[in-house]
Amino acid sequence: MATSSSDKHNPISSPPLQDRVAIVTGASRGIGRAIALHLASLGAKLVINYTSNKVQADLVATEINSSFPGSTPQALTVQADVSDPSQVKSLFDIAEQFFNSQPYILVNSAGVSIAKITPVADTSLEDFDRILRVNTRGAFLCAKEASNRLKRGGGGRIILVSSSIVASLRPGNAAYAASKAAVDTMVKILAKELKGTGITANCVSPGPIATDMFFAGKTEEMVEKAIDECPLGRLGQSEDVAPFVGFLATDASEWVNGQVIRVNGGYI
């Protein structure tokens, strides 16, 4: 009996990402952590990337591996600076060697921002360069490596985490918004360049999410203002973003390609 297209996207006997290797950058905490845990729940094998927070990264890997007692590890941690091309290459090398399989999925969640609202006139060149180096250069290097290393022929997924601030254009966030706007543009072109590979490329753009990065440098009044501006009357949680990334990582998302999708509760 022929298999229908709906059957292809309807896993019955196994999880939708069973044994597929996923690399998640910036996965030691916040949105990246939630994404890694969710992909693991869908059956993926995880590479937990971190830059400096080894303790938190190890906790994420331990949480995943404890769900698979008696089996080979489903997750490992790898330290790598996403703005360094040699370290990004090593990240993919280790993933392939450890799991003896080409990665299927890249989620680039690593990112930085200025700790407080800062107008262009007061933004230091050091802060500007740091934000562009991690957020833009890092996304470029990870996407570049993934374009050459992910499994071809169907199922390959490049998912870059951007920000809804690209659309909201909040004063005091020019450097951060600019760094993410470049990522939005990049992914739309990348999706076209990957024609014929079966690999899709998309951006997920969260609104205000209750993470350490969001709270840094904000007063209680600023936080309350962000809550008031959301139609759902709350800040987003990392767990609001992770399931959508999970969808994009599965075969069910095949027809979603070259898109920038705002996951923000209607904030924009």
As annotated, the active-site residues are 176
> Is residue 30 within 8 Å of residue 108, measured between CB atoms?
no
Q: Which two tokens stand for residue 55?
A: 């303790």
> Is residue 24 within 8 Å of residue 107, measured between CB atoms?
yes
Query: How far apart, in whole angstroms, are the C-alpha atoms of residue 23 and residue 99?
Result: 12
